[in-house]
Amino acid sequence: MNIKYNVIKSKDSSVEEVKDFVSVEEPLEMNLKYKIDGKWITEHLSITMRTPGQDEDLISGFLFNERIVENFSEIENIEKIGEKVGDFNIQNKIVATISNTKNIGIGKIKKNFITNSSCGVCGKTSLETVEVIKKDKLNISFPKIPKKIILKYPELLINEQSEFSKTGSIHASSLIDENGNVISTKEDVGRHNALDKLIGFSHRKKLIDNNSQFIACSGRLNFELVQKGLMSNMGLMAGVGAPTSLAIDLAKRFGMTLLGFVKKNSFNIYTNKERVLF
C-alpha cells in the first residue's frame, strides 16, 4: 500500500517538484480472545507498525512464531474490529480467537526475556528462552539449495516486490524452493512483519515444505528473524545484509544454515555449510 507525496528532488544542477510514491505505515493493535473457566477474555497482545494489508496473515504468523499457538488450527477466527480511521479509512485493530490457552503464559514469559539484539547482557538468556519453547534441532540433511539459486535470489526478491520498486522503503520475505521458484512473497515496512505475514500465509495455505525450501529476506538477519524461521523448522535462511552475532549463535545452536551479504556473485555462509550445493 502506498501513497503519492509532493517531493522536491535535487539531482546534479536541477531541482524539481514531483509526485513520488511513499510506503504507508500505520499501527495495528493485535488482540487475543480465549476462554478460561467458561469465561471469554480479550487481552491486548501487541501494537506493531505495519503496511496495511494481509493483517490476518500478520497476526496468525505472529501467534505461531511466538508459540502462543502450536498449530494454525488453534486459531478459530480472526476479525477486524473498531472504526475505520485515518486518511486511508482502514481498521487498525484486529482480534484472533484461539482454542488452546496452554501457551499463553509461555508467550508472555518469552516476551519478557527476549529483547533487542543490541543488549549484550541478555544474549544468553534469549538463547535459553528459545530452548524452552523449541527443544529439537533441525535435520542437517535438508534442504539442499544449489549455489546458483542462492545467487539468483536477490533478483527474484526484487522482481516479487511490487511496492519496493515504487517506494524503495519496504522490506520483503520470500519462500523459495530448490529450483528457484518463488512460492510466496510478503512485504511490509517492518522486516519482522514481512516475515510474520509470509509464515502466516504459507502455513494457512499449506505451502511449506521444509525438505526443499528456504526463506530469503531483503535486509539483515537478527535474532528475532532467525527465531521466527526456526519455529517453522526452516533449515536455511538468507539475507542481503549481515547477520548479527546473536542470530549466528542461535542458528548454530539449532542447526540452521545462515547466509548473509547475498549478491549476484557472492555470499557468506555463517553456519552449517552442508546445505549449500557448490
From the list 85, 119, 132, 140, the catalytic residue is 119
Range of the domain at 228: 134-277
- Whether residue 119 lies in the annotated active site: yes
In a domain, 153, yes or no: yes
| Tens-level pLDDT at each residue, the chain (278 residues) | 777 767 666 566 777 887 777 677 788 999 999 998 889 999 888 888 888 889 999 999 999 988 899 999 999 999 999 988 877 888 999 999 999 888 887 555 455 444 333 333 344 555 666 776 787 999 999 999 999 999 999 888 888 876 655 655 689 999 999 999 999 999 998 889 999 999 999 999 999 999 999 999 998 888 889 999 999 999 999 999 888 877 888 898 999 999 998 988 889 999 999 999 99
Q: Is residue 226 part of a domain?
A: yes
Q: How many separate domains does the chain show?
A: 1
Of the candidates 32, 207, 146, which has an alpha carbon nearest to the alpha carbon of residue 198?
207
Query: Does residue 124 lie within any of the structural domains?
Result: no
Could you list the beta-strand ranges (E) of the chain. 2-11, 14-23, 26-36, 39-50, 75-85, 90-98, 145-146, 171-177, 182-188, 213-217, 236-239, 257-260, 268-271, 276-277
Q: Is residue 83 part of a domain?
A: no
Q: What share of the chain is helix, strand, coil (3-state, %, to 5)?
A: 30, 35, 30
Please report whether residue 115 resides in a domain: no
pTM for the whole thing? 0.78
Grid cell 529483547 — which residue?
A: 115
User: For residue 195, what is the enclosing H or E element?
Assistant: helix 191-204
